[in-house]
Structure 1
Amino acid sequence: GRIRPSYPTKTGPNMVQVYEVGTQTMIDSDAITPVYKIPGMLGETWDWAQYVIPITHYYSVDGNLWSMPFNSSTAMLYYNKDLFKAAGLDPNKPPTTWKEMEEYGKKILASGVVDYVYSTGWPSWIYEQTMAYHNHLYADNDNGRAGLATEVVFNDEFGHKVFDTFIRLHDKGIYIYGGAEYSANSAFKAGQIAMLIQSTSSLAGILKASEFKVGTSFLPRFEGYPVGNSVIGGGSIWVTKGQSEEELRGVWEFLKYTGQKDIAIQWHKGTGYFPVSGAALKAL
């Protein structure tokens, strides 16, 4: 909320990093120079296709990129291979459906290796991910892509099924609430739970801190429903209005730098965020 009033007085930042759900707010702020305009403003041309297309699509309107993707992520399943083995499960076969999540959960609880089986970070985001993962809209107007969203549309049979499943697993002691953000990570790293649904951005920290073999897999699916994809999380870099040409050139050089192949690979390996460079993704 402080970006818009600051830019006319030139007291604000040249760039601002904003999480993905702030995209519409930033577009509506009238405080931003869309990044797709910057090369032309500086007399340059730029190949936007060099970036990972699904990531740039998230931050694009009518095919034009508004902000530079940087710390892009999605959700995935982490699991403790050692606890799986101790519970009599195959450590190389994580659950792939929510039915299996419940079946695995019962076996793990029965084995006594942990008191609770799994938790999540960002529970509301995981719900949104689950909707998208089954090609189900969260809001009208194609999730706000065909026009501004006016209402949510998840209060239907599938939306209820997802909530009911989460509640049932909680009531059976399989799921334990782990906080709104990253608190559940600590329980997983300490070996107190066998599985964690969390952002890919947690990967490096989990691998570094865990004294057990960590497995990863895709999100579980509900059988018999359409197949969609997970959605982009993380954040991107927005460029504020009212900058001098010199400032804008400096900003543009920095944005190009963040997308370089070697830099993107280094960032990915050090964090777990996706590389936004297509060349970096192919090289990994």
Structure 2
Amino acid sequence: MKTTFLMTALLVMILAITACTPQSRGAGKTADGKTVFEFWTFWGSETRRPVIEKIVSDFNASQDKIEVKHVYLPWGDIWTKNLAQIAAKNPGDVIINDIASVNQRASKKQNTDLSAYLAKDNIEDRFFPQLWNNVMYDGKAYAIPFNTDTRMLYYNKQAFRDAGLDPEKPPQTWDQLEEYAKKLDIKKGNTYERIGFHPLFGDFGTDNWLFNADGGEGYFAEDGSLKINTPGKVEALKWIKSWNDRLGQKNVDAMKAEFGSKQSDPFISGKVAMIMQQGTFATQIRDYGKDLDVGVAPVPERTTGSGHWSGGGGFVAEIPYGSKHPDEAWEFIKYLTDYDAQKYWAVKNFDNVANVKASDDPELSKNEIYKASVDNLKVTRQFQVPLSAPDYKNLINPQLDAVLLNNADPAQALQKAESDVSALMKQNGG
């Protein structure tokens, strides 16, 4: 009995070790001699997976030396596994990763310096300059931009008409935004059937409003100095809080509790007349709000001339450090970010791509919202995560929340956030 138990336990251990041992990716060859490698993404939806797999299939058919295998891994899991495989010296060969933290991975030797490849294939001019800036570390590129996004103001034109507003003249400043919102509010008794606008409904967080109010200045200046506690950001916090005060926190919370997706989206369902959303929000309107008469406009500026600053992010194609097939991976990345693949991705997903020529394609420009989103990239900021404060938002966000919950003064909260981030940077040698 004891012997049987020990043998069973040993077998379980062997199976566990075998399961945890990564299979070598260095010897992949097809029968006809093609090099096989893995391309990791988190695009597994019924919308995006067929698109990326068609791009992969087209690449495989375009030449006879490389065969790319698309590997889908869930959001979040993909990057955990990537780091584990890099540590095991057996990563995939191309991965889609976050654009804001390219420099973080480069500083930790988790992605590949692409300088040698760019020296022979200089493709920098394909991309929007602000996106290219975000793939740089120590003067070298460690990734290639794939896609990006931007936030704009969506507004219900019929609601504008009903409220006596010109649907062809959306609000341009914060004062106009509030003026329009009050006219668009529909209140019955003590509750709202429709709220004209709220700064934090949709996809434009507090931090976005803070740099919108501050001339596009983020939390960190280019010289590394902190720009958290500034007059513009203090005023922005006060302004956001004023919406809760005017509408009533209970009303705001009650309205948010009714929000859902698809037909239950607050804008599509008519519960909100103006909302901040990404360009890709147009696909939800297309699918679930076909009767809506929709307009889009840049983010209103704090005051005339201060700038219609918006926020964006995006993803890049990287070669993980230790890839067994970096040369072949580079050939695929060139294809993935060239005109044809980028246009196909944009057309099928209504997504902002990093390739300038593909973004300006006439077929895409026919769509009013897509063209507006491309134009909006000119005033869209993307920020790198600072090397000496990778977790800076964990120090700032609680202070912002405290203000909106009436538990802190805006200036004091931002001062506390700046002091905390400064201490973190000093601790990390920054």
Fold shared per TM-score above 0.5: yes
Residues 129, 19 of structure 1: alpha-carbon distance in 2 compared, 3 angstrom cutoff: farther
Counterpart amino acid of residue 92 in structure 1: E
What is residue 238 of structure 2 aligned with on the other side?
164
Is the aligned partner of 1:218 residue 2:298?
Answer: yes
Match of 1:155 among 208, 229, 240: 229
Distance in structure 2 (CA, Å) of the matches to 1:18 and 1:176? 35
Match of 2:114 among 31, 35, 39: 35
Distance in structure 1 (CA, Å) of the matches to 2:207 and 2:346? 21
**Aligned residues between the structures:** 269
Residues 260, 45 of structure 1: alpha-carbon distance in 2 compared, 3 angstrom cutoff: closer
Higher RCO, Cα 8 Å, sep 6+: 1
Q: CA RMSD in A?
A: 3.1
Larger radius of gyration: 2
Is the aligned partner of 1:45 residue 2:121?
Answer: yes
Distance in structure 1 (CA, Å) of the matches to 2:87 and 2:163? 61
SS of the residue corresponding to residue 27 of structure 1 reads helix
What is residue 169 of structure 2 aligned with on the other side?
93
Residues 124, 269 of structure 1: alpha-carbon distance in 2 compared, 3 angstrom cutoff: farther
Distance in structure 2 (CA, Å) of the matches to 1:78 and 1:90? 15
Distance in structure 2 (CA, Å) of the matches to 1:254 and 1:129? 37
User: How far is 1:228 from its partner?
Assistant: 7.1
Q: Which runs of 5+ in 1 are unaligned?
A: none
Distance in structure 2 (CA, Å) of the matches to 1:38 and 1:128? 39
Distance in structure 1 (CA, Å) of the matches to 2:103 and 2:261? 28
User: How far is 1:128 from its partner?
Assistant: 5.3
What is residue 336 of structure 2 aligned with on the other side?
258
Distance in structure 1 (CA, Å) of the matches to 2:204 and 2:178? 20
Q: Which runs of 4+ in 1 moved over 4 A?
A: 110-114, 174-179, 182-185
Is the aligned partner of 1:207 residue 2:286?
Answer: yes
User: How far is 1:283 from its partner?
Assistant: 2.5
Residues 128, 265 of structure 1: alpha-carbon distance in 2 compared, 3 angstrom cutoff: farther
What is residue 242 of structure 1 aligned with on the other side?
322
Distance in structure 2 (CA, Å) of the matches to 1:51 and 1:114? 44
Match of 1:68 among 144, 148, 157: 144
User: How far is 1:115 from its partner?
Assistant: 2.2
Q: How does 1:105-120 map to 2 (within 5 A)?
A: 105-109=181-185, 114-118=193-197, 119-120=201-202
Q: Which runs of 5+ in 2 are unaligned?
A: 1-78, 363-430
User: How far is 1:274 from its partner?
Assistant: 1.9
Percentage of pairs with the same residue: 21
Residues 277, 55 of structure 1: alpha-carbon distance in 2 compared, 3 angstrom cutoff: same
Q: How does 1:119-138 map to 2 (within 5 A)?
A: 119-127=201-209, 129-131=211-213, 134-138=215-219
Q: Scaled by the length of structure 2, what TM-score is found?
A: 0.55
Question: 1:121–1:183: 8 Å Cα contact kept in structure 2?
Answer: no
What is residue 157 of structure 2 aligned with on the other side?
81
Counterpart amino acid of residue 210 in structure 1: G
Distance in structure 1 (CA, Å) of the matches to 2:346 and 2:252? 29
Counterpart amino acid of residue 186 in structure 1: D
Q: Scaled by the length of structure 1, what TM-score is found?
A: 0.80
Is the aligned partner of 1:103 residue 2:171?
Answer: no
